[in-house]
Amino acid sequence: MAEDVPPAGSVPRALTRARLARAIAELSERDARLAEAIAAVGPCTMLPRREGTHFAHLARNIVYQQLSGSAAATIHGRFLKHVATHVGEEVEHPTPESVLAIDDDALRSCGLSVAKVRAIKDLALHVSDGRLPLDRLESMHDQAIIDALVPVRGIGSWTAQMFLMFRLGRPDVLPVLDLGVRKGAQRIYRTRNLPDAARLEKIARTWRPWASVASWYCWRVLDLEDAGGW
């Protein structure tokens, strides 16, 4: 499978079913503890979510922050309906232009907080003036994408990493501050204490270049009925 290995310095290829299968095989071969977790959880299903646009995906992430799934879904639905109504036609996904054309009070009426209205407007501004080149993200390296995303109000490193993993399908992202990944790693590797960022980086040396996939398994072992036995 040498042809599946991207040249040094190139942009990582997005995860596909074939690449997920390869990742599972390589991780299982080189890491016995992780192999046990992979066997218990089963095949990885972390394919990139391609529906909609990058802008709509990021706006949705902002809406969903710190809310329960049902409450966030309701507010997000109102937001989409309001955008469509405002532009006077059926639009499948919000655009930066449509969001910027709506006043803040109207967006607040959807149930968005002041902070989230400002964040969504700031996202739209970053896209419209070119500071966040959404049309070029596929050709950019992971860190360059993070650097372009985090200046947007309401988007931090964790949100940027989740975008890389679940929207773009980047294979080697390690969210070292994610509590679920840290708890999963603690159970898989039976560490006495919850791994901090430095400890998780050391553990993840065997995960490269599939840290995204290994992180997914850290999340999933916490869902197992016998997770306490890890």
Q: What is the DSSP string of 28-72?
A: HHH-HHHHHHHHHH-S-------SS-HHHHHHHHHHHTTS-HHHH
Cβ-defined contacts of 102-107 (< 8 Å, 24+)? 106/82, 107/79, 107/82
Mean per-residue pLDDT, 11-16: 94
Indicate the fold that domain 2-47+173-229 takes in CATH. Answer: Endonuclease Iii, domain 2 (1.10.1670)
pLDDT of residue 90: 59
pLDDT of residue 66: 85
CA atoms within 13 A on the CB side of 88: 1
pLDDT of residue 15: 97
Residue 227 pLDDT exceeds 60? no
164-201 confidence digits (pLDDT tens): 999 999 999 999 999 999 999 999 999 999 999 999 99
Task: Categorize the per-residue pLDDT at 202 as very low, low, confident or very high, splitting at 50, 70 and 90.
Answer: very high
Report the predicted TM-score, pTM, of the whole model to 2 decimal places. Answer: 0.88
**What region, left, alpha or beta, does residue 79 occupy, with left being phi > 0 and alpha being psi -120 to 50 degrees?**
alpha
Instruction: List the structure tokens of 207.
Output: 């995960």
**Contact (Cβ atoms closer than 8 angstroms) between residue 48 and residue 17:** no
**Contact (Cβ atoms closer than 8 angstroms) between residue 55 and residue 96:** yes
State the average pLDDT for the chain. Answer: 91
pLDDT of residue 1: 36
Residue 190 CA to residue 170 CA, distance in Å, equals 28
| Domain boundaries 54-167, CATH class | mainly alpha
97-150 confidence digits (pLDDT tens): 999 999 999 999 999 999 999 999 999 999 999 999 999 999 999 999 999 999
**Domain residue ranges in the chain:** 2-47+173-229, 54-167
Task: Categorize the per-residue pLDDT at 89 as very low, low, confident or very high, splitting at 50, 70 and 90.
Answer: low
Task: Categorize the per-residue pLDDT at 54 as very low, low, confident or very high, splitting at 50, 70 and 90.
Answer: very high
Task: Categorize the per-residue pLDDT at 93 as very low, low, confident or very high, splitting at 50, 70 and 90.
Answer: confident
Neighbours of 105 (CB within 10 A): 8
pLDDT of residue 5: 45
